[in-house]
Amino acid sequence: MRDFVLCLMAHVHDCWHCGAKDAASLFCRYCNTIQAPTPDYYEFFDLPRRLALDPEDLKNRYYTLSRLLHPDRYTRRSEQERRFSLEASSILNDAYRVLRDPIQRAEYVLREEGFPVGDQRNKDVPPELLEEVFELNMALDELRSGDLEVLPQLELFRRNFLDMLARIDEGLEELFRRHDAAEGDERRKILAEIRSTLNRRRYISNLVQEVDRQLAARNA
């Protein structure tokens, strides 16, 4: 972990405290004063912008930074240092929450690379799913009208959708590996494919949530 702490000095800038021209990020290499934190989650953790991350390494970096940046360490420091500590702690927690989750991590990279992550669009729905969604909506309408005979059908829909999500997640892992190995235009093509896959995943996840809501309301 010592190497990681040293890497925190990799991104240079002027130190606000001692004026050094190559002070490094988070902590000045000369006076060790805390610096203005970067809002870039990957840069904050000193990680390459990859989609496949080692969860244990990320967790170790998080706990190391938590100790170094905790506001309690700066209660007797200057107002500037206390402010940077609070800002850094906030970014740290947000960044860890996002980067440790593969879906949120992918959505973050997409936004940073200029691929807005919006609501599901019909063209992103697999054609073979449209008929199933139509049948699902009919079953939900029947359940709302009090027809309990559709409960086994809804449970089957739910299992099928969960299986779809599992297969999509497996596909995303492969897309992540391809993204990390690619460069330039090829990487951007893969990002577009990842965005489309995430849209489909969100759509199916919403279907599962709707089934769960209706089943819970029926059992309440």
Binned at pLDDT 50, 70 and 90, residue 97 comes out as very high
pTM (two decimals) = 0.84
Closest CA to 164 of 136, 142, 184: 136
Mapping DSSP to helix (H, G, I), strand (E, B) and coil, where does residue 41 land? helix
- 119 confidence band (pLDDT: 50, 70, 90): low
Among 87-91, 109-113, 204-208, which stretch is predicted with the lowest mean pLDDT? 204-208
Better-scored residue on pLDDT, 166 or 5: 166
Query: Tokens standing for 92?
Result: 């740290």
Residue type, 101: D
Angle value at C-alpha 165, between 163 and 170, nearest 5 degrees? 100
Find out whether 51 and 179 touch, Cβ atoms under 8 Å: yes
Whole-number average pLDDT of the chain: 88
* Contacts for 194 with CB less than 8 Å, ≥ 6 apart: 51, 106, 110, 172, 175, 176, 179
CA gap 53, 82 in Å, rounded? 31
> Residue 24: what pLDDT?
66
Least confident of 98-102, 140-144, 185-189: 140-144
CA atoms lying within 13 Å on the CB side of residue 49? 15
Most confident of 23-32, 69-78, 100-109: 100-109
Q: C-alpha dihedral over 117, 118, 119, 124, to 10 degrees?
A: -60
Return the higher-pLDDT residue of 65 and 125.
65
**pLDDT tens-digit map of 32-83:** 999 999 999 999 999 999 999 999 999 999 999 999 999 999 999 999 999 9
The percentage of residues in the chain with a pLDDT greater than 70, rounded to a whole number, is 89
| 27 three-state secondary structure | strand
Amino acid (one-letter) located at 46: D
Q: How far apart are CA 185 and CA 166, in angstroms?
A: 29
In the predicted model, is pLDDT for residue 208 greater than 70?
yes
Phi, then psi, of 90 in degrees rounded to 5: -65, -45
What single DSSP character describes residue 37? P
pLDDT value for 106: 97
pLDDT of amino acid 1: 46
Helix and strand numbers, DSSP H then E, in the chain:
8, 0
The whole-number pLDDT of residue 5 equals: 46
